[in-house]
Structure 1
Amino acid sequence: MFKKKPDIKNLSPLRSSDRRKLADQIILDYRIPVPEQQQQQQRQQQQSGDEASAPQPTVSSLRNSLLPESTSSARFTTTAGPNLSLVSGTIYVGAHPGQDERILWFQTGKNPRMIPTVYTLWQNPAIVPLLHTPDFVVEQKLTHGSDLMIPGLVKVMGSSWDARATAGAVVAVAGMKKDTVPMFIGTTEVDVSKLGDNLQGQKGVAVKGLHWAGDEAWSWRPLGSGGREAPESVDGWAGLTGDATNAMAAVTLDDDNDADGGVETHDGGVSLSQGTKDGAVNRDDLAEEVEEREPTTKEVDEAFQQAFLFAVHKAKTDNKGPHYGLDFPIQPSFLISGMIQPHLKFQNQHYNIKKTSWKNPKKFIKHLDKAGLLKSKDRNGGETVILDIDFDDMQVTSFRPYPLPKPKATAEGSSTKDPNSEAAGSSTDPSVGQKITIQTVYRASAKLVPTLLPSKTEFYSAQQISSALKSFVEQHPDLGGQGASSIKLDPFIANNILGSNPAHDDSRTLASGRILRSALQKRLLEDTHLCQPYHVITRGSAGSDQKPKAGPPPHVHITIEKRTGTKVVTKISNLEPFFIDPQLLTPELQKKCAGSASAGQLAGGRPGLLEVVVQGDQRKIVGDVLAKRGIDSKWIDVTDKTKGKKK
């Protein structure tokens, strides 16, 4: 939550009474065992005659440990989440004995629950459940603000999860080397205490991050900035066994290593057997599961830059100069599909150009140009191409390749396809061969409920609405009887249906006192004041439970227009609703149309929506390519702007 530096107001000291109330509330919320009262201890010491025994902890000392006497508070605001939503709350700043002032607790919004920081947990062991995950997950993911996925949880086989780690509980997470040092605090999204030993097949977020060692709350201090390094160990936290820690120390990136030495790896998680010392875990398998959560923009940016360096390094290693197998100028479409996508460390729907801070290939190329890695040039029509790459740049020469994810089979029997066939060239595009189904549904207005339709929150198909109208007429024989082509108007039809929209002139119908059945049914389905249209686009058998989206079904837009005099181009947009990635479609169109093709930000569209631009009037070829992706011609709108206006 503290990825961005919070705006903190002036600190004000807490009154002693308020500090005690807050400390008591923390003790109650986290069910912290309360020591005996000092008076009782003194009586016991007197009765036993042991006056020299060491003093025992008291309620006061527990309060001071949780909230030191010097604690101050202040309001803060920051932004959090993928949409950078505004978050406000209160921080509590204090100093433990011998240490400088730090943020020890914080509250957000209207939630009264106090959330501890790592500084509080390093001083107060075991006040929240402690979970564990491999060190590379802590270093590469959690301390960068990512959530902890269920497959990332690690537990010694035969032990049990902390019973306090129920859904919604505040928990801490530690790595394997420093297994008693909390580094990440968050709230559980699932009931971790009931996960069991085998996490195979379980997906989703386990712990949603709120604070971690390395964020802005960790680095904040009254004067200057910079966080305190984590200790090597913290007494009082329940760590893992030494054997388990040794087993996870054998984590390797070598795909040839097997994991049969007692450390069991599953698609859904990792479990460690006690007594294991020589086991190994394939880090890539676990990292793949961890990467199912949505990365930050900074992480996607870094992945794209590393993929570019990987592609250049590989070209220089596998080929001879001067261009090392690359044909210049390099089109933006080839940069993304031929250089970036194949060399991304994580290849899933979250890692695409739309998720970067650049949003489109043109700005990405400009960024690489500014960094001195290449030279680019803007061409007519706004396209930016790569003229040359600096193969001797220090970032290229010092680059160390990383293991790439293993390719997944796109469909059953795909391994038997001829690699030289046309389909093989598009095997990396999951939209090829897909079957698209579009269903239009309606939500009834209050004017139709409950007389015609039972609910205004349910969705109805056109057939269901027609059946409801038929049943209504049959239940009121005075309206015209069964099989009659026209219906007599009653107050409900006249007022609630025909009188619902002032934009319709129904004076003649109202004057005649009758309306055709077909006209009434058409009015129900086409008047948005009566039935609001929604649509559901599904791919194959997947997505049948998708939530309907408001509005009529979308269309793919193909526009033929002139540029720079006589040059004609074909523009294709609105592909995303049909599960088509414009970046993957561009290379195929470039090959089939035997001309340049590029994908860029859609003019006037929201950030991230792309359009593909191809040289020439290519509507026929584009239609055929879209048909292979399940797009029926009735879902395509073609606009020809090259024809002269009619006089």
Structure 2
Amino acid sequence: MFKKPLTHQSNATPIRSSARRQLFNAILEQYPSLLLGSGSEDEGYKKELGKLILPEGVRTATFETSSGMEGTFWLIPSGDVLWMAFGRNSKEYIPTLYLLSLPLPHPPLEMIQIYNPMPPPILMGAPLFIPAVANIANPHLLPNVQEGQVCAFVTSSSKNDQVSYVGVGRVVAKGGMKGAWERRIEHLMNNKGEEEGKFADVLCIIDDHLWALGSKPDLTTFTIPIPQSPIATPPRNTEDVPSGAPSPPIERLSISEDAATAAKGPAPFTPLVSLSSSEISSLLSISLLQALSHLPPSSFPLSASLLYSSHILPCRPAYIPKDKRDEVIIGKSNWKKLTKWMKEVSKEGLLKIKESKGEMIVVSFDPQHPSLEAHEEYVTISQEETKLAKKAAKEAASDAALNSPQALSQSMTIEELWKPSGGAISFWEAAGIDRSTFHPPHALKQAIDQYVVTYNLIDENDHRFVLLDAELGKAVGVKKPGPGQRMARDEILNKLRNNVSWSVSINGTLKKGAPQPVTIYITSRGGHRTITHIVGLELFSINPADFAEYMRKKCAGAASVGPREGVSPKLGLQEVQVQGAQQRAAIEALGERGVPKRWIRDEGKRS
């Protein structure tokens, strides 16, 4: 509704006290849930509520949207629009996102949770479709919103149950929420390809031009209340809720300026959760729109498999977490198969398809389709990878400067890093460690200590020991730890340290494998011939041939490069051999190239 700036907005004028009281009474009549638990005759409560939702000094202004819709705003001096009405002399007062951001004792609207990330077209004013609605598999969490009824949209950007308001809409699906849910279930169960139509029109949404008119406050998070009237009864294993009980308040506080918010404890450890099939379907749908928006019509006809692999998958959004990107594939979506998806999109009029010799062919697409016109560009995985590749190429081009005289005197920044691997991954996820990123060594012990404290696994009789639960036991090789079974804390630390994947970062460049120092040792040949061996230069990006040439000049003796002894030639590792006992000269040369002394190991003479 407000995806574009307003065509017109009149000057805001204060309303009289009598008009304010009349408007307040009309709002309470329209939204009786605001008075839940207080009693309609509690004048003190109503007075405080009025100061919050329709404060003294509220002003009114008329407006016209870019689409020609006229209406009325009720706003406060800061510019925050609290209420709005569409049409001339309309008596339907609709709360805005600014009104919902206030510390209301009870929510005025039924809440419908939608998936996060939200489909980009919604942010541009496009209607909401039922696949974007969460909890389809849990109908007891879906409110029985009727067709034509106004509702609030909420979403969660974290892994817990905390949500925040993101918009207001009007349900337009036939039969309301229950009818839309029944059609969605029938569609999924019977594999039908019927178009389900839009579910709700978006009246206002976060970051639209209505939001831009005001102060843009932070939207607090809260636990979504259980619907008073869900579309289905809760399952038997769900805790019973009295049918006559009101919805719990979003925040239990008084309506006063001095009300303090409740203190929140630290968030508990929560294991990483996979994307749902509906989320994957939504992400693939916008990836298709992104791909089509960059493909010229002359690119078609094109096989569906080629469109999917070469265009849709690279156009997946870069905001998908890296450890979740492999989940966004057709096999984990609601469609399961590419052919079924293409047929469904074809029925929506976006694609024209045909089957030829058992293969699905995309003949053309409609560049004027409403979904394409409403599509908003975003950064894709392909664009992100291209950017990283260019950055890597630029860094590789500058590697030559590392051997310059100026660079030789600069010390290297070397850091050991690790990330979860093997059978202990589920433990690290439960401990709050991201499996897709590298972590410094101290994070390993911190995570273990925090896990032990959080789950109360300290042995009260001897703090050197830790009790094993199922996750920790599995991580240290104990499949089914018995009650009270324990293990020394140091032993747990060593086992977990040995079972993670180690790498080393040298001047910001990541090298896979456990970090090994440059090793120097001496051997004797022919009784009196002494050779100094220097191995492990590759890890520190030191060219063995260049280093051998430098040592030849420095020591005024023979120096050569050959395959490293004791390792497979397929690895391509080399060692530098210098005539004579040249450990001191080699250590100095490595120091000139920035290798710290603790990363140089002198083993002396080998027999």
TM over 0.5: no
TM-score, normalised with respect to structure 2: 0.39
In the superposition, the TM-score normalised over structure 1's length comes to 0.37
